[in-house]
Amino acid sequence: MGNELPRWIDAALPMVLAATGLLHPESPATYYACLGVAFACLATVVLGGAAVMYAIAGRVGTRIQGPRERPPKLGAEAFESGRAMFVAACLAAWPMAQWQLGHPTGMVWDLGDHAWWAVVLQTVAGVLVIDGWLYLKHRLLHTRWLFGFHRAHHAFRDPTPFAGFAVAPVEALLTFWPILILCAPAATHWAPLYFGLVLGFIGLNFYLHCGVTWRWIEATLPRVLLNTSAFHNVHHSHVKVNFGEAMVLWDRICRTRAVDADTEPLEAAR
Ligand SMILES: [Zn+2]
Ligand SMILES: [Zn+2]
């Protein structure tokens, strides 16, 4: 796909998603109030957290790609992460408005009759399935037909935490659409576990893009099949391997890790 069409689609998508609020069957005003709150919260956490992690990673840890040859593209990374958070906020505003208007959603604080172990089991299964989807999405975005929608993330060959969510809008939609599942009251999500996982995913993405390794974290995360800074940094520098986003499970199963014998020889990204 040529360069221009994905760029136009990515430019239009946030406006289209925001405009869907006009179709809110009960209260577009509530939708837009929720969109504002969601965007303010997500942008503050993602950009504020990235700033803190950037400062820490500048002082502590071992640089993966050696001394930087040129300054990082902080502004471009922050813009792209901020735009992705706007897409996520456009989605989150739907279940938030449903809750604000007094309707049940899939988010519960009290487990009621649900057994806690069943909810935990269901959550683990959900995480594996969503991580499998993120892996598949990433592989598809690396095909020549769809790479135009993923090019933005690979503009950062030696990323910083500001690139943690620096994906263009179409990819952001493909990543964050499961937020809409919260609109279904039958899809029970236990709020403390859900928000804990969301914060964990945000923190993991800061680490994956921080450009340095911390030995004890590199040793710990693979034990629970989670991605590491050293692992994901190779995806930025060499592009064709290590596609896992939160976990390394699907890279192992599909043998797409840099260390897998039958992977094509590594070719450094230009
Ligand atoms: Zn990345
Ligand atoms: Zn990629």
Q: Relative to the alpha carbon of 243, which ligand is closest?
A: 2
pLDDT value, residue 270? 42
Report the half-sphere exposure of 167 (CA within 13 A, side-chain side).
24
CA distance to 26, 54, 234, 245, per residue, from 164 (Å): 35, 11, 15, 10
Q: How far is the CA of 147 from the centre of ligand 1 (A)?
A: 14
Q: Provide the residue count of the chain.
A: 270
Q: Which ligand lies nearest the alpha carbon of 154?
A: 2
Give Cα separations from 257 to 34, 158, 200, 219, 250 (angstroms): 40, 19, 23, 17, 9
Distance 230 CA to ligand 1 centre (A): 11
Nearest bound ligand to the CA of residue 134? 2
For the CA of 159, the nearest ligand: 1
- From CA 124, how far away is CA 88, in angstroms rounded? 22
In angstroms, what is the span from residue 157 Cα to ligand 2's centroid?
11
Distance 204 CA to ligand 2 centre (A): 17
Could you read off the pLDDT of 141-184 as tens digits, one per residue?
A: 999 999 999 999 999 999 999 999 999 999 999 999 999 999 99
Query: In the 8-state DSSP scheme, what is residue 266?
Result: P
Q: Note the pLDDT of residue 76.
A: 97
Considering every ligand atom, which ligand is closest to the CA of 138?
2
pLDDT per residue as tens digits for the range 65-89 = 999 988 999 999 999 999 999 999 9
3-state secondary structure of 213: strand
Burial 135-160, CB ≥16 within 10 A → b, else e: bebbeebbeeebbbbbebbbebbbbb
C-alpha 38 to ligand 1 mean position (Å): 23
Q: Is the pLDDT of residue 261 over 90?
A: no
- In this predicted structure, the answer to whether residue 269 has a pLDDT above a threshold of 50 is no
Q: How far away, in angstroms, is 103 Cα from ligand 2 center?
A: 39
